[in-house]
Chain A
Amino acid sequence: MDVQEAVAEGTASVENGEVKRDGRKQFSMGPGDILEGKLIYDGSIHADGKVEGEVRVSGNIDVASSASVRALLEGANVTLKGQVEGAVTARDKLTLGKNAKLSGDIVVRRLQIDDGATLNGHVRMGDFESHTSGQ
């Protein structure tokens, strides 16, 4: 299957779907929303509620504090405030907020971990083969 656009499968129920912010596309989820499957998106995502599967975006990923994520995440700047299980790739910077809980291996260019955050996994920093997003 050739996935080109955002594919939200299964029980995906994203109320406010696509919002444009600063001329960039923003995929915004609420605390009751559920995304299962694989999402490849040319823009940024605000993840809340429940996310399962794989999320690759050209912009930023921002995981809310009430979110529960079991997914592979890839974005430019990735900011985690909630619970994430899965590998994370930040082409620029990964930020773990004070309530973030991440278990998974991470590949980042820059890393900031705030006191209070929990991390379990391998950290690799610097050069990484950048997957062109949308692939």
Chain B
Amino acid sequence: MSPTRPVSNGANGQGNSVVLGPKDRLVGQLYIEGDLRVSGTVDGSLEATGDIEISGSGKVNGAVTAYKRLVVGSDASLIGGDVRVARLTVEDGATFSGKVSMGKPEPKVEEPKPVEPEQVIQPKAKRR
């Protein structure tokens, strides 16, 4: 692994923000520890631990997960995928469709379920 500059610009990943400009394009998946602003085109899925803003004439086709807030601007579009966010703002004029889940910001990593002690009920006394 080459030590290319990591996406996070701080050692702790705090205050990080990534911008995809109007001429930028992303096909695939993106995970950001911090905020993300898209005014270009994304075909794929986005996940950010902070806010995601689709602004300008930004277009996102795919799933979006924002642990904090998602904003879809009035000329922007978000189509298709599952949208999981804690807070959501859709401005009038925006194109927006998909399945929206809000309320409980679910961390992606599932907690392993506590293993129940195995209690196998064994037939103790054999019938005589």
A123 to B15, CA, bound (A): 32
- Decide yes or no whether B13 CB sits under 8 A from chain A: no
Per-residue A-contact encoding for B36-64, CB less than 8 Å = 1, 0 else: 00000000000000000000000000000
Question: Could you say which residues of chain B place their CB within 8 Å of the CB of A112?
Answer: 90-92
In chain B, positions 78-128 with a C-beta closer than 8 Å to chain A are: 87-103
Once A113-B88, A113-B90 are accepted as A-B contacts, the answer to whether A121 and B95 lie under 8 Å apart by CB is no
- Decide yes or no whether A122 CB sits under 8 A from chain B: yes
Using a CB–CB cutoff of 8 Å, the interface residues on chain A facing chain B are 93, 95, 110-126
Once A120-B100, A120-B101, A120-B103 are accepted as A-B contacts, the answer to whether A115 and B69 lie under 8 Å apart by CB is yes
A102 to chain B, nearest CB (A): 9
Besides A111-B92, A125-B95, A125-B96, 5 new A-B residue pairs in contact (Cβ under 8 A), listed by A number: A113-B90, A115-B89, A120-B102, A121-B100, A122-B98
Question: Could you say which residues of chain B place their CB within 8 Å of the CB of A121?
Answer: 99-100
Query: Can you identify 11 A-B contacts, CB atoms within 8 angstroms?
Result: A95-B92, A111-B90, A111-B96, A113-B90, A114-B89, A116-B87, A119-B88, A120-B100, A121-B100, A122-B98, A123-B96
